[in-house]
Amino acid sequence: MKKVVKKVLFLCLWLALLMLLQQTSILSNTLKLILQYIAIYSIMVLGINIINGYLGIFSLAHAGIMAIGGYASSLISMYLLKAPIFFPINLLLGGFVGMGVGLIIALPSFTVKGDYLAIITLGFSLLVQSLLQNIDAIGASRGLRPIPKNTNIFWVGLTLFLAIFLVKRFIGSKYGRSLLAIRSDSVAAELVSVDVKRTKLIAFGLSSFLISIAGGLICHLLSYTNPGAYGYSLIIEGLIMVYLGGIGSITGSILGATIWQILVETLRFIGMWRWILGAVILISLMIFKPTGLFGNKEISVKWLRTIYTNVAQKLTHKKGGRV
Amino acid sequence: MSMYLQQLINLIQLGSIYALLAIGFSIVYGIARLVNFAHGPIFMVSTYLIFYFATFMYTVTSNSWVVYACSLPFAIIFTSLLAVVIEKIAYRPLRGGPIVALVVSSVGVGMILEYGVLLLIGPVPKRMPVLIKDIPFMIGDAKISLASIVIIIVAIISMILLSLFINHTRTGVALRAVSQDPIAASFMGISRSLIISVAFILGAVMATIGASLYTTIYFTFAPYMGDRVNWYSFIAAVIGGIGNIKGAVLGGFLLAALNVVGAMVLPVSTYKDVLVFAVLIIVLLLKPTGLLGKKIIEKV
């Protein structure tokens, strides 16, 4: 009971903070924009992490899913439910559309393994992109505009909160543990009666849902979108953020997105060099810490405390050591 | 009739280029178990190398055959060096770790090459000087260019040389042994590191030959073209069965056929990408390891 109260209290505080940021001009507009980018990409990375991190499948479908989610919710708010009140509903609808497609992508993962699955998902992403480029009814390669500019820091923050909550609950549930079992060994997992197909379906569904919502948010933030945004570079950027933060870690996902977005935004003055810097960081990370900065650990007060006590112990026992 | 002959030659020349690229991709995969996202960028770098050597050679001589015969080996040497250096720095420290780390590292290498060229040379597309002189001649009423015949011949010669190398030299046998069973191969005294370097060199050589032929057809090239080439070679290699050289050739020709026939049949030519991906997905759903791929038996 106490836990629930704590959580509700935290949510209220979070909402109040968001309202404060939204209504007042404490933050400059650029800073607000960067914060929104960070939060939106965090949601996307959380989604990718369910498949690439927790389930351990190397999937490249996120660009296609994000495109579908973004296009679906943008089209709904452009033509069907135009009023800004419907924005959350539009986002959810876009999320469900993406989720449906995600469930279809999960089907090949039953039989196809490893690198072949990677190419199927890559093929899917590029297929979606070239379809969007060719269908004239939704703007072809000109894209969609103007999409109502409904995204603001309040909605983004609330969605991020809900996404973290959802993923945390999911990972802690029976299915979350099944996910980890499948990652370690899918055949052995099946032998101890983990329903592999069902778990994969649920994981792909949830992952695609989150990625689609992130797509919807970013479309409504920029108020335009075009197929070019959902290509090879988005695939690679998604991978970078996931593997930067840590595969299989919620806080790692958010940190990965934060670090990458801050790098990209603050290093604008060095122009193209930031991409090379990013690549160097990525390669050195893979060499020295291949599971990402935080691996599958979560940052929490407890974790910080153990680190603190460890360091303190080391400092006090520096000379001589214990007898 | 003449149109079909022309399209057929188109198909064969495109197919042989895709096949070369897919072979390079496939060899690297077979030996190092790496889905090499840096293959396309290496191809792109090699086009720039060929460009600079060829422009330099044209200041010395005006004979295009001499230019081609000199600039290709130069470019091959430099791209091979590049491939070896990349392997030493970015892939070797990762060996034995998770495979995904290797793939992500190759993504990083691809980015460095792409943005490196963008920074050093700039985004403006360049135009390749003539490498293989185009003398059109007629068969019946079909106009056929000599260049496409030369392209096909060069591609076939390089494939024959490669198969001789793989089947009849000590290194080639070692290469096959490592791809079959790395652990057993190392018991036989084969240095895996050396063979992996050889695989990367072969991949780079195939990419460079492919690049010289590719730019003979299309002339213009830009830093961003690596991405497209990368997934085209990836798709060709996977359709045929990744790690299998015959499969890569088959996949390359299949991809070219889809492109050429797609452009003829489809109402809008940009739909041919959709066709390519759709076929790829269908092939993999029906035969999850590609057309000529071996079935993987999973052990617990």
Angle at B86 between CA B83 and CA B90, to 5 degrees: 150
At B108-166, the pLDDT tens digits run: 899 899 999 999 998 888 888 888 887 887 777 777 788 888 889 999 999 999 999 99
Cβ atoms of B243 and B26 within 8 Å: the answer is yes
Contacts of A154 (CB under 8 A, 6+ apart): A15, A18, A19, A21, A22
Average pLDDT over residues B216-243: 85
Tens of pLDDT, residues A241-250? 888 888 888 8
Interchain contact A188–B (C-beta under 8 A)? yes
The verdict on A280 touching B (C-beta cutoff 8 Å) is yes
For residues B109 and B200, give the distance between their C-alpha atoms in angstroms, rounded to a whole number.
Answer: 14
Burial class (CB in 10 A: 0-12, 13-18, 19+), A94: buried
Cβ neighbours around A260 below 10 Å, total: 24
The CA angle B282-B283-B286, to the nearest 5 degrees, is: 85
* pLDDT of amino acid B203: 93
Hey, is the C-beta of B6 within 8 angstroms of any chain A C-beta? no
Chain B residues whose CB is inside 8 A of the A58 CB are 100, 103
Q: Which of A97, A52, A83 is nearest to A216 (CA)?
A: A97
Is the CB of residue B297 less than 8 Å away from at least one CB of chain A?
A: no
Report pLDDT for A264.
Answer: 84
CB of A75 closer than 8 Å to CB of A138? yes
Q: Do A123 and B281 touch (CB under 8 A)?
A: yes
Say what the pLDDT of residue A318 is: 58
Tokens of A298: 């979560």
In 3D space, the residue among A89, A219, A176, A119 whose CA is nearest the CA of residue B284 turns out to be: A119
Interface check for A132 against chain B (CB to CB < 8 A): the answer is no
- Residues of chain A where predicted confidence (pLDDT) is lower than 70: 1, 296, 317-323
Written as six digits, the tokens of A271 are 């122009």
Q: Yes or no: say if B296 and A113 are a contact pair by the CB < 8 Å rule.
A: yes
Query: How far is the C-alpha of A59 from the C-alpha of A52, rounded, in Å?
Result: 6
Q: What single string gives the DSSP state of each residue in A132-184?
A: HHH-GGGTGGG-B-PPP----HHHHHHHHHHHHHHHHHHHHSHHHHHHHHHHH
Task: Kindly state the percentage of chain B with pLDDT values over 70.
Answer: 96
Helices (H), A50-152: 62-75, 87-106, 114-134
Distance CA B154, CA B254 (A): 20
- Classify B36 in phi/psi space as left (phi over 0), alpha (psi -120 to 50) or beta: beta
Q: Who has greater pLDDT, B299 or A103?
A: A103
- What's the confidence (pLDDT) of residue A8? 85
**B116 contacts A282? CB cut-off 8 A:** no
By the 10 Å C-beta count (0-12 exposed, 13-18 middle, 19+ buried), B10 is classed as middle
**B233-279 pLDDT, tens per residue?**
888 888 888 778 888 999 999 999 988 888 887 777 677 778 888 88
Percent of chain B surpassing pLDDT 90: 35
Q: Report the distance separating Cα B92 and Cα B32, nearest Å.
A: 10
Which two structure tokens, joined as six digits, stand for A145?
């505009």
Q: Assign a CATH topology to domain B2-286.
A: ABC transporter involved in vitamin B12 uptake, BtuC (1.10.3470)
* Number of C-beta neighbours around residue A132 at 10 A: 25
Of B74, B80, B32, the C-alpha closest to B51 is B74
pLDDT of residue B74: 92
Residue A81 tokens, joined: 């439910």
| Spatial separation of the C-alpha atoms in residues B77 and B204, rounded to whole Å | 9
Contact B148, B136 (CB under 8 A): no
Name the residue with higher pLDDT: B3 or A317. B3
Structural contact between residues B128 and B49, judged by C-beta atoms closer than 8 angstroms: no
Asked if the C-beta of B242 comes within 8 angstroms of chain A's C-beta atoms, the answer is: yes
CA distances from A166 to A12, A62, A87, A193 (A): 17, 19, 20, 25
Contact yes or no for B226/B44 (Cβ under 8 A) = yes
pLDDT greater than 50 at residue B300? no
Summarize the confidence of residues B40-64 as an average pLDDT.
Answer: 90
Q: Is the peptide bond before B123 cis (omega within 30 degrees of 0)?
A: no
B296 contact residues in A (CB cutoff 8 A): 113
Cα(A179)–Cα(A22) distance, rounded to whole angstroms? Answer: 38
A274 to chain B: closest CA residue: B115
Report the predicted TM-score, pTM, of the whole model to 2 decimal places. Answer: 0.84
What letter does residue B221 receive in the DSSP assignment? E
Q: What is the mean pLDDT of chain B?
A: 87
Cα distance from B31 to chain A (closest Cα, Å)? Answer: 14
Angle, CA of A300, A303 and A306, to the nearest 5°: 150
C-beta atoms of A112 and B238 within 8 A: no
For position A85, what pLDDT does the model report? Answer: 83
